[in-house]
């Protein structure tokens, strides 16, 4: 959510391995935020078509379950379908569906941009902006939120049964 909010991207995707801890209840300190995201990665905004964005979301589901966190949309998927065909529907916050021919802004970290965690399809996509380090983006977002900070919505990847 922090990456999407600070960059004003349509969607943000964060690899699960990049989130190292839960944010404990209580005062939010830089140290507590650093425990969540202790990496030196930068946040990058890419411009993708809807079809390319769908490919990225498919990569997040390549093992049949989400390997990333998504902000800005709900992704309905079917793990029983073959890899590359698992995403059934993407609906953005506000209700609009993903359109393959439309252009969208995606915020990711530069680890993913260089193919980390299997996101190799991002390497050659047009960069729109760089927003700074992950920890700084997270800290700015935390400062924008009214206390007490509530956890983000869960269930953004929704499994078809």
pLDDT of residue 73: 97
Give yes or no for a contact between 59 and 84, defined as CB atoms under 8 angstroms apart. no
The per-residue pLDDT of the chain, averaged, comes to: 92
Torsion sign across C-alpha atoms 143, 145, 149, 151: negative
pLDDT of residue 112: 95
pTM of the full structure: 0.92
pLDDT tens digits along 108-153: 999 999 999 999 999 999 899 999 999 999 999 999 998 888 888 7
pLDDT tens digits along 19-35: 888 877 888 888 888 88
CB-CB neighbours of 134 under 10 Å: 26
């Amino acid at each position: 959510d922090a990456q999407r909010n600070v960059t004003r991207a349509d969607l943000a995707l964060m690899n699960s391995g990049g989130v190292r801890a839960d944010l404990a209840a209580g005062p939010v300190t830089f140290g507590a935020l650093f425990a969540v995201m202790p990496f030196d990665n930068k946040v990058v905004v890419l411009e993708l078509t809807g079809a390319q964005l769908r490919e990225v979301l498919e990569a997040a589901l390549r093992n049949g379950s989400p390997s990333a966190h998504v902000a800005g949309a709900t992704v309905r998927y079917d793990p029983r379908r073959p890899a590359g065909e698992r995403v059934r529907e993407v609906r953005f916050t506000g209700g609009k569906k993903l359109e393959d021919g439309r252009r969208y802004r995606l915020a990711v970290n530069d680890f993913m941009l260089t193919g980390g965690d299997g996101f190799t399809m991002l390497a050659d996509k047009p960069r729109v902006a760089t927003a700074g380090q992950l920890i700084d983006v997270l800290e700015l977002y935390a400062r924008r939120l009214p206390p007490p900070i509530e956890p983000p919505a869960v269930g953004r990847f929704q499994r078809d049964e």
